[in-house]
Each structure stands twice: as C-alpha cells, then as structure tokens.
Amino acid sequence: MGILYYRTCPDSDGDMLGTLGPREFLLARREGEQFRRTGQGARTTITTNIGSVITLDIPQKLTKAFSSTLACSIQTLYAFTERLDYSPYLEQAIGEIGNTQILAATMTPKFYQEIRRGAPQLHAIFGAHGLVAVQRFARIAARGIRLMFDMMRSDDYAIAFGHPSIIILAAWAVNECRDMPLELRTLNPMEGILFISTKNDDILFDINKITVNPLEE
C-alpha cells in the first residue's frame, strides 16, 4: 500500500509564485524535524473518505519526495528533507501539482475576494469559477496525484509539496466530487492530506487533515 503525505508550502502571502522568506524556511525546517521525530516507524489508524478504517504501518523512512515546479515548493522540499537524517529519492518536479499556469487560472482576484470574505479555499474556488471550471481544475489535480502514485512502488512512503487549493481539488476529485469534510476545505501553511493507494490501485485519503501549529510571533 503506497502512502503519500501531500502537504502545502509555508508561503505567507498565499500566492506561492515567489520564493520562501526566513520565517517560511524556519517553518519548513521545523516540520521536517518534527517529522523525523514522530512521522516514521509508527502504526496509525485512519478513517478514509469512503468510511473504511485502515491501520497503516508507517515505514521507518520516506522513500520518495515530490514537488511542484514552483520555486517555493522546491525550496520547501529541500528545507524539509534536510532536517531528516537520511535522503529520500527526490523525483522530478510535477507541473500538475502546481505551476504558474494553473495558479494564474485558479487564483484570480475573485478567488482572493472570496477568501477575504472568509470563505474556505474550496468554496472560494467555486465562488470564483463555477462548477464546470472547478471540475476541469480538479481533473488536472487528480492527474498530479495519479502521476505520483504511478511513480511509486506499492511499499513506497512518500511526501509531496504543492499548492493548497490543488491538494484540496485532488482530494475532491478522488472523492468523486462529493462534499468534502469541513476541515479539508482549507489547508493552512504546511498542512496537508494523507493519501493511500490500495492493492486494487484505488486512491483514498484520510478525512482528518495533517495539522500544523503556526510559528510564534
């Protein structure tokens, strides 16, 4: 069973088109250190999007790491993995989990207007674009997660860093475009979703998101 931790970058301004600043690097490194201490070699139980309860034996080490083609995503990958005591195999950057074209199409002024009004990221995408466009974006996001699992062996344990809205849309597509759990409708910096690939090559996800405490001011 392939296991993929799919997490956002620690980008403070939210557009992810720039590079990381000192605080963002600090958060990525802190999360890498935390993962080294607690994210490996344990047994955990998840509740999936189809309601099944699965116990996972988490391997001792990550075997692969993925990023989008965005500079901040690549920087996050290196900042995170440098805090591990080993080096997972770094796969090629994948445009479908975040590139400038996708972000320009999805993160429009209307999207940010919805965010300022307090809408969760998933709702903001719908408010800015409508169902047909969101379904198109979701298909791209779903291709990204399928590409990653296609590059993984059945026993691989991987991490990926991408754009929060793309991660949410990937989960929404995996969930066959049904309602998403409330807590998965927004992902804050470095938060994410755990995905698994089953023996039947189905992709599922944990309905409880990977949470992160923000840096203290």
Long-range contacts of 115-122 (CB under 8 A, 24+ apart): 115/14, 120/182, 120/185, 120/186, 121/164, 121/165, 121/168, 121/185, 121/186, 121/187, 122/165, 122/168, 122/169, 122/172, 122/180, 122/184, 122/185, 122/186
Question: What is the arithmetic mean of pLDDT over 179-184?
Answer: 90
Dihedral of alpha carbons 46, 4, 163, 86, sign: positive
Q: What are phi and psi of 8, to 5 degrees?
A: -85, 165
Which pLDDT score, from 0 to 100, does residue 14 have?
Answer: 46
The three-class DSSP label of residue 11 is: coil
Percent of the chain residues past pLDDT 90, beyond the cut? 66
Pairing of strands 157-162, 89-90: unpaired
Angle at 4 between CA 35 and CA 12, to 5 degrees: 60
| Closest alpha carbon to 103 in 34, 164, 176 | 164
Which pLDDT score, from 0 to 100, does residue 60 have?
Answer: 84
Q: What is the pLDDT of residues 73-114, one digit of tens each?
A: 999 999 999 999 898 999 989 988 888 888 889 989 999 999
Query: Which residue in the block uniquely carries the two structure tokens 């991490």?
Result: 159
Q: What is the pLDDT of residues 109-156, one digit of tens each?
A: 999 999 999 999 999 999 999 999 999 999 999 999 999 999 998 889
User: How many Cβ atoms from other residues are within 10 Å of residue 50's Cβ?
Assistant: 12
Q: Which helix (H) or strand (E) holds 203?
A: strand 203-205
| Closest alpha carbon to 125 in 144, 133, 178, 67 | 133
> Distance (Å, rounded) from C-alpha 154 to C-alpha 121?
32
Instruction: Label residue 11 by pLDDT band (50, 70, 90).
Output: confident
Specify the pTM: 0.93
Which pLDDT score, from 0 to 100, does residue 96 have?
Answer: 87
Q: Which domains does the chain have, with CATH numbers?
A: 2-205 (3.40.50.1240)
